[in-house]
Structure 1
Amino acid sequence: MTDTVLDVPGTARIYQEQGETVQNAVTLIPAPSKSPDDPLNWTQKRKYLMLSCLVFYTITATILSSDLYSVFDPLSASTGLSLDQLNVGTGYLYLFIGVSTLISQPASLAFGKRPTYLISAFGAALVNIWTAFAKGNSQWIASRLLLGFFISPSFTLVEVSIADVFFLHERSFPLGLYINFLFGGVSLGPILSGYIYEGLGWRAIIWLSTGLTVIMGLVLFFFLEETTFERDHTECASDSVIISSEPLDAEQDEGDPKNPDKADRTTTSVEQEASQSRPVEGMAITDATPFTPSPWPGPRFWKFMKPHRYALGIMVRGIAQPLMLYRLPLIWWSGLMYATYQICFNLIAAISSGILAAPPYNFSTSAVGLTFLAPFLSAIPGAVYGGYITDKFVLRQAKKHHGITEAEHKLKLYIIPAVLCPIGLLMMGLGPYYGAHWIVYVLGCAIVNLIGPLATILTVSYVFDCYHPIRPKNEHGVQACAQDMAPYLLSTILLAMVFTFGFNYVITPWCFGWGLRNFAISSALIITVINATVLAVLKFGKRLRRIGEHGYRKSIDW
């Protein structure tokens, strides 16, 4: 099969093909440069040290955003704020997470990702201290807005940092780890805070989470490296580079000129053969290609990136470009899907205290917090194994399609959330309505949070696959730099957080005002309809990618 089909962003060749045979080798996308400072050239240990720092940052940021969920009832009694006001404040938190990405994301490229993470950590710690002294609804909302501003990188910048250091075919697993703690941290906060409240009061929750945030900031200061690298996309170490996934048999290879993976093959012959074939957007590495991964050089806490020469242009485009991309239907669809499963977890956090602390369950605050252990544990297989399964599924689909992967291939896995999520929502609503054992409600929460991370992985990786490969005309100007900050992801997250913000206004009347039975049935129907839109994307997604490419290029070439 020729590569004439590789003319649409999101369609790529990750297996080479000889005749009718698909080779068991993976093309590296994107192509790494020859520089040892290129994060793509780091050793796996160095990459996973960076990932560990970002995971610690993510789980701490999500704990800050959720540590008061399980104490909403006593918090309401202590502060005089109604449950509805507390939920609306949470809505403002997520709204400002989305809006603030228009500032934090371009700032990370203009001034460095490492300082952005550090400002996020220590700024969030200061705002969290203020929360302990906030009085009245206006100060509660103001504290939520500022907290959303400082923790906004945890929702967008981490994905870009992962794309900085991991190749396309290995990206879903680290993305799964990240999303595991994005969902898991939101569950872990209420688990811990329930016990802290009963022993020390609700303000102690804030002091302890602030201390954790400061520790996290110090860890980032000493161990997190800068991943921003100005890679020249017009050049790479080779036009086509392959990682062989099968061991070589020296006896069979010796003297066999037909074997493409011959052990004594020279770099010159590799480059000559590559130059004779059609270049692909990737790089292949054979056993003979000189390639030495860069090990971790040790703590270099004094190393900061200098302000980018296009800093002002990047900041301007960071605000304008994501808004310009709303002309693309796939951006709206990705934002809707991301919001749907963010809302599903927000639903768990918003109604658990009101359901379990009331008759017939009459749970204590610590017991309500302990029920969040179920969604916390269920998020682990959903995210970690979900990312692993996604990577393997994409490779398997590519082998079935002559070595070519389509962005829509992974969306076939949406069958899992499409089946399980309505079941979980029905258990969460009908269980309490009919007075069933509390385990029915808790298992429903676990099911919803099991498939939420998987759905988020599929959505984020899909929008990355669709638009990350598109490069502007000027590869040496501010346009290329602005594309590196992933404006498509900002558009998706901003849209998702606006949806989430609006939903927080209706959680309380929908669930408690309309009745749990009506809530359960209507939510299951709504989620089923939303999941059914995946069928349309599977059928028309590539056509929409082809049609939308011109509009996307027009936005990033501005």
Structure 2
Amino acid sequence: MPDINTEEYLDIPGTIRIFDEAGHVVQTDHVNLHPMPSEDPEDPLNWSKTRKWIFLSCVIWYQFVVNLQAAVLYAIYTPLIEEKGLSLDQLNAGTGYLYLFIGIAAIFTQPLALGYGKRPIYIISTFACALLNIWTVYIPNNSQWIGSRLLLGFFLSPAYTLIQVSIVDVFFVHERSLPMSIYALAIYAGGCMGPVLSGQVYDAIGWKPIIWLSTGLTVITGFILLFFLEESSYIRRSKVKAAVHVVDEVERSTESGIHNHLAQIEEGENQDEGQKNIKMDTVEAGVYDVTLNNDNRSGQKFPLNTPWHGIRFWKFAKPHPQARAIIVKTVFQCLMAFRLPAVIWSGIVLGSFQAFYNFVSALASGILAEEPYNMSSSAVGLTFLSSLIAAIPVAFFGGPLADWYGLRCAKRNHGISEAEHKLHLWIICVILTPIGLLMMGLGPYYQAHWIVFVLGCGIINFVGTFGTLLAINYIFDCFHEIHPNDPDSPSSAAQDAAPYLLTSILICMIFSFALGYAITPWCFEWGLKNFGISSAIIFTFIEASAVIMLIWGKKMRRSGENYYRKVVNW
């Protein structure tokens, strides 16, 4: 093993020192705010907690409602087939087109949001989804069904890629865990509650009122965003890197210690210009959060806490001065990231987890509404609660579990954390994947109690949620710390779009689109027994591919770093 104290060993994206040889933390986000806010009261990082949570409530509600609207049809496929003359195969293919265009559209909607403002993208997306939902009532044939799904996927794309970036705009690193957990839960809550509610409404008053009710809810959401959602894009002329500063007990207990601590920052040889210009009176005025921590005890926080004062809703957009360059560079970076093995792998496994959700939505009506179960649409809808319940513990405990395990591995690795450490938990996905898929296929084939199928749906949704968390964390760990040389360039703003994530989402949605054509013949024509066995083998093999990253992941990170730096500096 090479010398773990050498700069060469640590100078690899995703490889960082967390503990010293004695097991003490040497890296923490509890000392300085990260990212460092500006002195502008309207900087989103300086917003008060109330103002930040109003913003978060808006984007999370948007996420929930548009996902709910997209999923309301899953429990009423049978009446749609009877009313519109569409086959189950055609309905599932339309769903595949929807997910394909979510991935393709993200390459364009994400840079548009960075260039011209996130608020207009959210509002346009919401009202467009409402209009496209109305189209469902009047669709006469398969061609228009496919067309409506394509357009819906395009305008639905911000719900899959833009919200993570919006949360980063507003919350500091140490504040993001809970917002991200709520976001993860909202994705599955909307997708699962849609069929639950639509099944109840259909049994009571028919399928068309489902469309009108979900459209009305989406329109109301659009007006909520118009009047309450603020623009979170903000131009920081100089991006300050977070640094680690250890302060002793004497400094922590006295006011002079704060001034001494900041003086050390100003004198540091490796601090960038923005860090050196921090003024004492700025701290005294309460602009920055100075938390002095050497034993897990936090000091006082002094943010600006700019309160929410309402928004000028008529100011629709907030264009960036370099908007066109940002759009071009974001698209370029996303496409060039296809050369990175970690991005390709994460896109494939994310696609497999999207396939799990597609299996649930495609099979539920086709199995539970037929012999021997003969469930009503409302009962079929209620079975989606299994998937929702399975996602809740992952949303709130999956992240802390992964973080705890990553720290444990770092302690055993002489204080060094590797991006692949958390992937050891992937064994959970490998074990549970075949169990869930076999229950979904063999349960109905042998006419077992319906709970077998429903529990199988819950298990694979648990796998999908947890695996998605690990895969996205992995690519962020690999590439998120790589920034362009010029922090004020369009390339820097483009990197804020997390182009490696956009590439993975595109691969994921292409995978889901291709599967859309195979689901119906695979499940119903080839037979549920064959489906259960073959899907268990195929997807277990895909999940087991994590071994490749565990063995050669660091080598790939090392070899791909120079290439990715060239991409982000283009």
Task: Work out whether the TM-score is over 0.5.
Answer: yes
> Which residue of 2 is the match for residue 482 of structure 1?
494
- Counterpart of 1:8, as a letter, is I
> Which residue of 1 is the match for residue 167 of structure 2?
162
- Counterpart of 1:87, as a letter, is N
- Counterpart of 1:485, as a letter, is A
Decide whether aligned partners of structure 1 residues 221 and 394 sit closer, same or farther in structure 2, where only a CA change above 3 A counts. Answer: farther
Do 1:92 and 1:145's aligned partners in 2 also have CA atoms closer than 8 Å?
yes
Compute the displacement of 1:445 (Å).
0.7
Which is further off, 105-114 or 214-223?
A: 214-223
Query: Which string of whole-angstrom CA distances, capped at 9 and with x for unpartnered residues, describes residues 411-458 of structure 1?
Result: 222222222222111111111011100111111111111222121112
Do 1:58 and 1:181's aligned partners in 2 also have CA atoms closer than 8 Å?
yes
Decide whether aligned partners of structure 1 residues 64 and 276 sit closer, same or farther in structure 2, where only a CA change above 3 A counts. Answer: same
> Which residue of 1 is the match for residue 311 of structure 2?
300
State which of 505, 521, 527 in structure 1 corresponds to 2:517: 505
Decide whether aligned partners of structure 1 residues 185 and 45 sit closer, same or farther in structure 2, where only a CA change above 3 A counts. Answer: same
Compute the displacement of 1:22 (Å).
2.8
Do 2:423 and 2:470's aligned partners in 1 also have CA atoms closer than 8 Å?
yes
Decide whether aligned partners of structure 1 residues 20 and 278 sit closer, same or farther in structure 2, where only a CA change above 3 A counts. Answer: farther
Compute the displacement of 1:166 (Å).
3.5
State which of 3, 8, 19 in structure 1 corresponds to 2:12: 8
Aligned equivalents of 1:168 and 1:3: distance in 2? Answer: 27
Decide whether aligned partners of structure 1 residues 418 and 231 sit closer, same or farther in structure 2, where only a CA change above 3 A counts. Answer: farther
State which of 533, 541, 544 in structure 1 corresponds to 2:553: 541
Gaps of 5+ in 1: 245-256
Aligned equivalents of 1:105 and 1:50: distance in 2? Answer: 19
Compute the displacement of 1:526 (Å).
1.6
Aligned equivalents of 1:223 and 1:206: distance in 2? Answer: 26
> Which residue of 2 is the match for residue 419 of structure 1?
431
Aligned equivalents of 2:424 and 2:50: distance in 1? Answer: 32
> Which residue of 2 is the match for residue 330 of structure 1?
342
Query: Which string of whole-angstrom CA distances, capped at 9 and with x for unpartnered residues, describes residues 78-121 of structure 1?
Result: 10011100100011111111111111100110011111111111
Do 1:321 and 1:555's aligned partners in 2 also have CA atoms closer than 8 Å?
yes
Do 2:251 and 2:257's aligned partners in 1 also have CA atoms closer than 8 Å?
no
Query: Which string of whole-angstrom CA distances, capped at 9 and with x for unpartnered residues, describes residues 389-426 of structure 1?
Result: 33444455455556654322322222222222221111
Alignment of structure 1 residues 29-44 onto 2, 5 Å: 30-35=34-39, 36-44=41-49
Query: Which string of whole-angstrom CA distances, capped at 9 and with x for unpartnered residues, describes residues 476-513 of structure 1?
Result: 22111111122111111111000000001000111111
Gaps of 5+ in 2: 276-288, 293-297
Aligned equivalents of 1:104 and 1:376: distance in 2? Answer: 28
> Which residue of 1 is the match for residue 283 of structure 2?
none
Which is further off, 177-186 or 28-37?
A: 28-37
Decide whether aligned partners of structure 1 residues 420 and 64 sit closer, same or farther in structure 2, where only a CA change above 3 A counts. Answer: same
Compute the displacement of 1:41 (Å).
4.0
> Which residue of 2 is the match for residue 451 of structure 1?
463
Which is further off, 423-432 or 374-383?
A: 374-383
> Which residue of 2 is the match for residue 22 of structure 1?
25
> Which residue of 1 is the match for residue 197 of structure 2?
192
Aligned equivalents of 2:422 and 2:78: distance in 1? Answer: 41
Aligned equivalents of 1:95 and 1:16: distance in 2? Answer: 43
Aligned equivalents of 2:64 and 2:308: distance in 1? Answer: 26
Do 1:169 and 1:391's aligned partners in 2 also have CA atoms closer than 8 Å?
no
Find out whether 1:115 has 2:115 as its counterpart: no
Query: Which string of whole-angstrom CA distances, capped at 9 and with x for unpartnered residues, describes residues 42-100 of structure 1?
Result: 44444333322222111111112111011111110110011100100011111111111
* TM-score for the superposition, normalised by structure 2: 0.88
SS at match of 1:505: helix
Find out whether 1:347 has 2:347 as its counterpart: no
Do 1:172 and 1:390's aligned partners in 2 also have CA atoms closer than 8 Å?
no
State which of 48, 57, 64 in structure 1 corresponds to 2:69: 64
Aligned equivalents of 2:245 and 2:169: distance in 1? Answer: 18
Aligned equivalents of 1:131 and 1:431: distance in 2? Answer: 33
Do 2:251 and 2:258's aligned partners in 1 also have CA atoms closer than 8 Å?
no
Compute the displacement of 1:354 (Å).
0.6
Alignment of structure 1 residues 286-297 onto 2, 5 Å: 286=292, 291-297=302-308
> Which residue of 2 is the match for residue 49 of structure 1?
54
Aligned equivalents of 1:239 and 1:272: distance in 2? Answer: 14
- Counterpart of 1:226, as a letter, is E
SS at match of 1:506: helix
State which of 466, 469, 472 in structure 1 corresponds to 2:484: 472
Find out whether 1:550 has 2:555 as its counterpart: no
- Counterpart of 1:240, as a letter, is V
- Counterpart of 1:110, as a letter, is G
* Aligned residue pair count: 543
Do 1:16 and 1:25's aligned partners in 2 also have CA atoms closer than 8 Å?
no
Aligned equivalents of 1:294 and 1:258: distance in 2? Answer: 28
Aligned equivalents of 1:265 and 1:24: distance in 2? Answer: 23
SS at match of 1:8: coil
Aligned equivalents of 2:540 and 2:391: distance in 1? Answer: 21
SS at match of 1:63: helix
Query: Which string of whole-angstrom CA distances, capped at 9 and with x for unpartnered residues, describes residues 363-383 of structure 1?
Result: 111111111121122221122
Do 1:118 and 1:221's aligned partners in 2 also have CA atoms closer than 8 Å?
yes
Do 2:29 and 2:173's aligned partners in 1 also have CA atoms closer than 8 Å?
no
Do 1:105 and 1:153's aligned partners in 2 also have CA atoms closer than 8 Å?
yes
Aligned equivalents of 1:419 and 1:478: distance in 2? Answer: 44
- RMSD between superposed Cα atoms in Å: 2.7
Find out whether 1:270 has 2:261 as its counterpart: yes
SS at match of 2:138: coil
Decide whether aligned partners of structure 1 residues 148 and 217 sit closer, same or farther in structure 2, where only a CA change above 3 A counts. Answer: same
Aligned equivalents of 2:444 and 2:430: distance in 1? Answer: 23
Decide whether aligned partners of structure 1 residues 290 and 171 sit closer, same or farther in structure 2, where only a CA change above 3 A counts. Answer: closer
- Counterpart of 1:427, as a letter, is M
Find out whether 1:92 has 2:103 as its counterpart: no
> Which residue of 2 is the match for residue 146 of structure 1?
151
Decide whether aligned partners of structure 1 residues 430 and 169 sit closer, same or farther in structure 2, where only a CA change above 3 A counts. Answer: farther
Aligned equivalents of 1:276 and 1:297: distance in 2? Answer: 37
% same residue: 47
- Counterpart of 2:227, as a letter, is F
Do 2:29 and 2:244's aligned partners in 1 also have CA atoms closer than 8 Å?
no
Do 1:174 and 1:387's aligned partners in 2 also have CA atoms closer than 8 Å?
no
Which is further off, 402-411 or 121-130?
A: 402-411
Aligned equivalents of 2:56 and 2:5: distance in 1? Answer: 37
> Which residue of 2 is the match for residue 524 of structure 1?
536
- Counterpart of 1:292, as a letter, is P
SS at match of 2:545: helix
Which is further off, 195-204 or 259-268?
A: 259-268
- Counterpart of 2:429, as a letter, is P
Aligned equivalents of 2:19 and 2:46: distance in 1? Answer: 22
Do 2:441 and 2:453's aligned partners in 1 also have CA atoms closer than 8 Å?
yes
SS at match of 1:390: helix
Compute the displacement of 1:230 (Å).
2.2
Aligned equivalents of 1:155 and 1:65: distance in 2? Answer: 13
Compute the displacement of 1:543 (Å).
2.0
* TM-score for the superposition, normalised by structure 1: 0.90
Aligned equivalents of 2:268 and 2:290: distance in 1? Answer: 15
Aligned equivalents of 1:66 and 1:472: distance in 2? Answer: 39
Decide whether aligned partners of structure 1 residues 316 and 198 sit closer, same or farther in structure 2, where only a CA change above 3 A counts. Answer: same
Decide whether aligned partners of structure 1 residues 494 and 76 sit closer, same or farther in structure 2, where only a CA change above 3 A counts. Answer: same
Aligned equivalents of 2:73 and 2:54: distance in 1? Answer: 30
Aligned equivalents of 1:402 and 1:501: distance in 2? Answer: 44
SS at match of 1:230: coil
